[in-house]
Amino acid sequence: MDVRAKLPKGKGFWPAIWLYNPAYTPDEIDIMEFIGEDRTTIYQTLHTKNHGENQFKTKNPDWSTEYHNYAVRWEPGSLTFYIDGVQTGRLTNLVPSDKMYLMVNLDVGGPSSWGGAPDGATAFPSSVDVDYVHVYQQSP
C-alpha cells in the first residue's frame, strides 16, 4: 500500500493512514500517524492484541510542508515501512495474517486524545490532502 498525501499542521490534529481488523481486535498497522503540533515526527506502528506495539519514528524538519509517500509492504511474516521510497522499519514477528481495511482519516482530538485539543491557532477547516492511494497484490 502506498499513499501520497500532504498532512495538516496544528494542535489537535491527528491524521493517520492505517489498516484495521474488521473484527475490531487490537491488531492494527499504522502506515503513518502524525501529531499536528509536532511536525517533525512520523510514527509507523504495528499494534497487536497480545504483544503491544512495535513502533518506528522518522524525523524531518516539517512533514506538513509538502506531499510525501507513506507505504507498507505487507507480506506473510514481514512488514516493511517506507517514506518517500526509503525503508524506515521492518518487522518479521507477530505480523498479522487476517484481512484488514485501509483507512485515511483526520482525527481532531480532545484533551485526552494523543493529538491533544485544538487551540486558537489551529486552522479550520483543514484536511489530509490525498493525491493517490495505491493498493497492490502480489501474484501467487
- As annotated, the active-site residues are 28, 33
The DSSP bridge partners found for residue 91 are 79
Residue 89 near residue 23, CB atoms below 8 Å: no
Residue 15 near residue 34, CB atoms below 8 Å: yes
Cis peptide before 140 (omega within 30 of 0): no
Residue 3 near residue 136, CB atoms below 8 Å: no
